[in-house]
Amino acid sequence: MGRYRAGQDQGGGLVRPVLLVDVDGPLNPYAAKLHRRPEGYETHRLLTPRWETAERRRLTEWGLPGKPVKPLRVWLNPNHGPALETLPFDLVWATTWEEEANAFVAPVLGLPELPFIAWSSQRAEPGGGVFWKTPEIVAWAKGRAFAWIDDEITEADRAWVNEHHDGPALLHRVDPRLGLANDDFAALTAWATVLD
């Protein structure tokens, strides 16, 4: 792996690391107990086009094609938007919500429209316990320093990124029962601060 040098881009501008943000797990603690929403979170019922399409397909497979689609329950903490914006990163969605994160999640959190990673339709597992997102994130980053928050990250992903990414990377797992917490924000800030 080559040495990464933080600093300036080709035009002389300062290059900040990227924070790749997953929705379900870090921002939506979906694994919390069903009737015990974590403190600070608000319940939202969202019917995104992607969710509606998937649910209609499922209902049709179950022989219930005319049944109405139930919106997705999402817990979001409005304090996360301002907290994310104060971090020393450029924010990018790294979620299966893709562009729908801008339409449905960003407004609730008070975030502007953010770039997003458009995943390939294959989503092939690379094997060895490596998450399908991992190779796509490394390909997208092209050597740029990044931190990634997700609930699916394992040591296998860290090892894969260390071997295949030519730059600094922090793969930070967030507990999907709790969502982003103060310790997570502190870890992200500390990591970005030590980059030169």
**Distances, alpha carbon 57 to alpha carbons 8, 40, 46, 51, 176, in Å:** 48, 34, 18, 10, 26
**Element spanning 15, H or E:** strand 14-15
12 token code pair: 């002389």
Pairing of strands 169-173, 146-150: parallel
The pLDDT confidence band at residue 196, using thresholds 50, 70 and 90, is: low
Cα(136)–Cα(80) distance, rounded to whole angstroms?
Answer: 26
**Distances, alpha carbon 18 to alpha carbons 4, 50, 150, in Å:** 14, 26, 14
Per-residue model confidence as pLDDT tens digits over 77-93: 999 999 999 999 999 99
* Least confident stretch, 42-56, 83-97, 135-149, 163-177: 42-56
Secondary-structure breakdown of the chain: helix, strand, coil percentages, each rounded to the nearest 5: 30, 20, 50
Say what the pLDDT of residue 4 is: 32
| Domains of the chain, start order | 7-31+78-194 (3.40.50)
92 token code pair: 């990018």
**What is the number of residues in the chain?**
196
